[in-house]
Every structure is written in C-alpha cells, then in structure tokens.
Amino acid sequence: MSSQLSESSPVSSQAINLTGPGPAVAVVQLVSKLSVKDNLLAAALLIQRASLQGAQLVMLPESFAVFGDPQMVAYGAEAAIPKRGLRLWLSQQAKANKVWLIGGTIPCQEGIKDLNKVRSSCFVYDHEGAEVARYDKIHMFDVDIADSHGSYRESDTFEAGDELVVIDTPVGKVGLTICYDLRFAEIHARLVDLGAQIIVNGSAFTRTTGQAHWHTLLRARAIETQCYILAASHGGQHDHRQTFGHSMIIDPWGEIIVELDEGPGIAVARVNLEHLQSIRAAFPLQSQRRLK
C-alpha cells in the first residue's frame, strides 16, 4: 500500500530529541483496529514520518496490522511464504523509506508445529527491503486482569518460540523481545551475553498493567542490561480492549529520552554507543555477575 506524506502533514503526536551524537532511531505508536487495511495505512504514514525525521531504524508495535482479527490463522498461513502478504508489505516499507524496519509482530505459520495456531513473529528488514531476521515471541500472555477484557490466553492462539535473536544493524547490535517478554529479566541478560547494545520491545500492554508496571519494567531492563531500550506500543481504545501507550526510548542509565502519551505517533531519539560504553566501563555489571 502506498502513501504520501509531507513534512507539514499532521500526526497525532510526536516526541523528538535529536540532541547529541549518534544515529537516530524511532518507535511508532498505533491504536490498531480490526481493519488490516486501515492499520497498514496508519503504520505507513508514521514510518514515513519517522524517516523524514532522519531515523535510520524504525520499530512498529506488536500486532500492528492484525489486532484481534478472527482470521489470524489465515494471515499466518499467508505469512508462511516469504515475500507475500504482510512480509512483503514490511519489505516494501523498509525499501521505500530507506530504513531498517523492525516489524512489530505479524502472525506466521512458517515452521509451526500446530497448524491450528500461529506464532507471533517479529521480522526485521534492512534499508533495501531484505529480510534479515525473525524472532518468535517466547512468553505467552496467559493472565487474568481486572479490566473489561478480563482473561487473556495467548497460548490458545499462539505457539511459543524458543530462540533468542540479536542482529547487527547500522545503529548497533539489537536484541529482539515482544511485549510479555519484558517481565522476564533472564531473557534480557542473555541478550546482553549475545552482544546486545539495544533491546527492542514491541508491545500492546493493557492500560491496567501499563499503569502499574510499564515504566518500572522498561527502566529496570535498561539499567540492569546497560542497553538502550526501544519500546513501541499501542495506546488507546481498540475495538475490544484498551492499551496503555507511552512508547518511549530509554538510555543505558535508565533515563527516558523521549516518550509519547496515548494515540498514534512517533518518538525519535539518537543512540550514542560511546555513552553506552562509558556507562558499562564505570559500572562493569556484566563482568561482576556472580550467578550466570
């Protein structure tokens, strides 16, 4: 799907901090609904907006295109074939905007064991549209929450992944996580062992859990890993549930560089790996770990 956007085109919100050295990165926040077509148009406009702000790497939230759609398995079957469906769309967006694109998640059945389910898969594309990585969400959101939705059982629909992924990008070594993974510190420690300097998390945190834990968890992960954290989430009222928003970029000291509130928008900031190395040199946490 094509789109046109000028510098003067309105966007619901944006948070931009491009002070200091280093390449620019961006997180996209959405409020996706049941219409995949509308979701793709909204995402395309914001990817382009981030590119116009100079971002070399852009990240989408979890379930950016297919959000609660009853045809989840059908979309997953289509995505089992490279260069088709949503995987083709992501490739085209990366190439058209000349950015590395971390594609939130899409349902995918490639390599799946149970054909009645899908995996929640994060695909990454380089600035020429080549698919360079895939991470399948490891932790399933099977919880009970005191909100209008009540019970969440991702394992009814999704098959869990079992492999961690760190990739080389022009802005640094990036470790991939998805939403509920955020609550498991051991994943993040392993990503650092694998070389991560930046850890990304594509989410759809509920409003209830987001208000309670979102900021605390993200800042804790940044502080303990001494990594930049890029968190792209949904924020607002969907067709069937409500999400918290507050997509943000955090530095390795745990400082929030940029943050959105609710509604669609972009947050853009620079990643300074020299700053990261100075923090790790002053506080050599990784070499001081006693239990591994």
Active site residues: 62, 137, 179
- Which residue from 149, 146, 150, 155 is spatially nearest to 180, judged by alpha carbons? 155
CA distances, 207 to each of 13, 213, 243, 262 (Å): 19, 10, 5, 10
Residue 267 tokens read as 């947050």
- Which residue from 202, 197, 135, 132 is spatially nearest to 171, judged by alpha carbons? 197
- Helix, strand or coil, per DSSP, at residue 96: helix
Cα–Cα distance for residue pair 177/1, rounded to 1 Å: 27
- Looking only at the bridges linking them, the beta strands covering 198-202 and 228-232 are parallel
- Phi-psi region at 45: left, alpha or beta (left = phi > 0; alpha = psi -120 to 50): alpha
- Which residue from 39, 50, 28 is spatially nearest to 97, judged by alpha carbons? 50
Give the H/E segment covering residue 223: helix 215-225
- Looking only at the bridges linking them, the beta strands covering 13-17 and 256-259 are unpaired
- Helix, strand or coil, per DSSP, at residue 13: strand
